[in-house]
Structure 1
Amino acid sequence: NLAWQQAFFWDGRAATLREQVLMPIQDVHEMNETMPQVIAKLSADADCARAFEQAFGSKEITAERIAKALEQFLLTLVSQESRFDRAARKVAELTESEKRGLQLFVTEFDPKRGLRGADCFHCHGGTLFTSQPFANNGLQLAEADVGRMKVTQNAADRGKFKTPSLRNVARTAPYMHDGRFNTLEEVVEHYSSGVRRTATLDANLAKHPEGGVQFTVEEKADLVAFLKTLTDEGFVGGDATTAASMRTDSPRQDSDVRGSGGIGER
């Protein structure tokens, strides 16, 4: 679902997917390549040269063409057939625990109005299950781990990181920008009691005075159960060709997650 993303990497240093795809290739901690080396390897492969000729009109391989090719492939990967999606279309059913987890997910925490929700939708709402803000979610961070501030040089962005999509989240451990949590249960526990107060802590977390929402044991289990309904088994279990063939013209609308008439109606 990268077509609908607004920035890339945890600190948002790449504004576009085309810009992002070349960075891991050259990163010393990832592929540790140079673009001239990559171009030389691809140019020496007759099949690659023919593929580039078919796509671009000549066999010339450049960094720009590599970026365009990678970008176009990644844009074909669309995940929107989770059990949650099918339940929203009324062709599948959620369990009672999953329904309670959904209700927690889309409900505000506001005791004055008699609401005891988890506040998740503020940052993880909409079709993508991310509202795409950069947010400080109350992790204990090293002094050098400044997040978005590294890009903007704005102290107000210290400790803020991109809010990821929760689609297929049960299959994407470890969690957080530094991989500190290995399970969804640990993640939920952080928001229950482990939030650390700092000057840039997100307002929706800062309103909880005791380190988090203080979920009950049942509420924690229900939230994890709901998060697992966001797994698109056909997407994560199939190959790229299968995933690409499942693409439709547009994703579901935000109202399907929280809004008028949707399954996420509070």
Structure 2
Amino acid sequence: MWLSLLKNKLKYSVLLLLFLFSCSEEKEIVTPNKDANEYTFLDKFPRELPKIEYPEDNFPNDNRIRLGELLFSDKRLSRTNEVSCASCHKSEYAFADNKPTTKGVEGLDGTRNSISLMNVAYQKRLLREGGVPTLEMQILVPFQEHNEFDLNILAAASKLSKDSIYQYLSQLAYKRDLDPFVITRSISAFERTLIGGNSKFYDYLNDKAKLTTEEERGMVLFFSDSLACASCHSGILFTSQEFANNGLYEIFKDNGKQRLTGLDSDNGVFKIPSLRNVSKTSPYMHDGSVATLNVVLDHYGSGGNPHRNKSILIKGFYITDTQKRDIITFLETLTEK
């Protein structure tokens, strides 16, 4: 009898070992080489931001920027005088917000997480679905949204035209009375000044700083083929400025780029955000549903939820808790001074 029990124990032990071995083979454990001489992924990485391209009818000057900065924070732009651009884009959070969505007029909940405006001058297409090509046009969006300003910009201009300071600055800046043209152009002129200074990572690229061991390990992991973070978060802004479905949901309440195109292939597809200042812009994702970078990594490590449009780059991976902390530590070096 004891011989029979021993055979059964051996049988189950072998099965358990086979099970554990097969599980360990499902996802690759990333162990990058930390040899600085092999950091070829940095060879062509830009060392500084490019020059800003300004519209011909809105080249910046001090008067235009000052007027735009005042308007950016003026709650009279909203129907109820309780919401401004700065309500959703707060300077302490890299001109994003620390809430999943920000409330608009009459306390109505917003529909999407506020995107950081830092370095927005370099963005080619604006909004989560990329439907707006210029900052001047984007300024019109909150006026039209019932959950944001909910006020025709003509009515807003009429309201603010009674302000003598605005009229004075408008004449200095654009040689015309305050009107929708002045509002959209001046706020855009101000937003184009929201350019980040040097971050620790860019000081490192330019031999002005050294990364800690943890930051360096995180950098190698970030740029590794195994994690493929840089496939989407590439270039000087740490975004390809392309669009992707990241498998956040099986069914998206917000259909993303499909709102713009009407194509099923764009369901759940959103613009890939910049990771500059990412440690200051939580919560994450288009709806602010992910609270921390730790949970963001868990999502991508899991491979996301099944969806017909999910990017083929999201395959899942396995990293240890230490490696996860290293990546987050590296991402913190992207915070701009």
1:187 matches 2:296: yes
Q: What are the Cα deviations for residues 161-208 of structure 1, in whole angstroms up to 9, with x where unaligned?
A: 010100111111110000001111111111111511222111211xx2
Q: Residue 74 of structure 1 aligns with which residue?
A: 191
The CA distance in 2 between the partners of 1:179 and 1:50, in whole Å, is 40
Is contact 2:249-2:307 (8 Å) kept? no
1:107 matches 2:224: yes
Which of these residues, 1, 6, 28, is aligned with residue 146 of structure 2? 28
Q: Residue 250 of structure 1 aligns with which residue?
A: none
The CA distance in 1 between the partners of 2:251 and 2:171, in whole Å, is 48
Is contact 1:124-1:166 (8 Å) kept? yes
Say which is worse superposed, 28-37 or 175-184, in terms of deviation: 28-37
CA separation of 1:141 and 1:18: change in aligned 2, threshold 3 A: farther
Is contact 2:250-2:305 (8 Å) kept? no
Deviant stretches of 4+, over 6 Å: none
| Amino acid paired to 2:248 | L
Aligned length: 219
| Amino acid paired to 2:170 | F
| Amino acid paired to 1:173 | S
Q: Residue 87 of structure 1 aligns with which residue?
A: 204
1:154 matches 2:263: yes
RMSD of the TM alignment (CA)?
A: 1.4
Q: Residue 247 of structure 1 aligns with which residue?
A: none
Shift of 1:143: 4.6
SS at match of 2:129: coil
Q: Which segments of 5 or more consecutive residues in structure 2 lack a partner in the other structure?
A: 1-118
The CA distance in 2 between the partners of 1:143 and 1:199, in whole Å, is 12
Q: Residue 233 of structure 2 aligns with which residue?
A: 124
| Amino acid paired to 1:6 | K
Q: Residue 37 of structure 1 aligns with which residue?
A: 155
CA separation of 1:68 and 1:7: change in aligned 2, threshold 3 A: same
Q: Residue 257 of structure 1 aligns with which residue?
A: none
SS at match of 1:203: coil
| Amino acid paired to 1:91 | K
1:230 matches 2:334: yes
CA separation of 1:143 and 1:164: change in aligned 2, threshold 3 A: closer
Larger radius of gyration: 2
Q: TM-score, normalised by structure 1?
A: 0.79
SS at match of 1:24: helix
Q: Which segments of 5 or more consecutive residues in structure 1 lack a partner in the other structure?
A: 110-117, 235-266
Is contact 1:136-1:161 (8 Å) kept? yes
Which of these residues, 299, 317, 323, is aligned with residue 213 of structure 1? 317
Is contact 1:141-1:159 (8 Å) kept? no
Q: Residue 163 of structure 1 aligns with which residue?
A: 272
Q: Residue 98 of structure 1 aligns with which residue?
A: 215
Q: What are the Cα deviations for residues 69-93 of structure 1, in whole angstroms up to 9, with x where unaligned?
A: 1111111111141111111111111
The CA distance in 1 between the partners of 2:156 and 2:193, in whole Å, is 23
The CA distance in 1 between the partners of 2:285 and 2:303, in whole Å, is 13
Say which is worse superposed, 96-105 or 23-32, in terms of deviation: 23-32
Which of these residues, 287, 293, 310, is aligned with residue 201 of structure 1? 310
The CA distance in 2 between the partners of 1:179 and 1:141, in whole Å, is 17
Q: What are the Cα deviations for residues 211-262 of structure 1, in whole angstroms up to 9, with x where unaligned?
A: x112221221111111111111x3xxxxxxxxxxxxxxxxxxxxxxxxxxxx
SS at match of 2:279: helix
1:62 matches 2:179: yes
The CA distance in 2 between the partners of 1:25 and 1:94, in whole Å, is 44
SS at match of 1:224: helix
| Amino acid paired to 1:214 | Y
The CA distance in 2 between the partners of 1:141 and 1:25, in whole Å, is 32
CA separation of 1:103 and 1:143: change in aligned 2, threshold 3 A: closer
CA separation of 1:10 and 1:141: change in aligned 2, threshold 3 A: farther
Q: Residue 88 of structure 2 aligns with which residue?
A: none
Which of these residues, 125, 143, 148, is aligned with residue 7 of structure 1? 125
Give percent identity, aligned residues only: 37
SS at match of 2:202: helix
Is contact 2:252-2:268 (8 Å) kept? no
Shift of 1:141: 4.9
Which of these residues, 147, 152, 176, is aligned with residue 285 of structure 2? 176
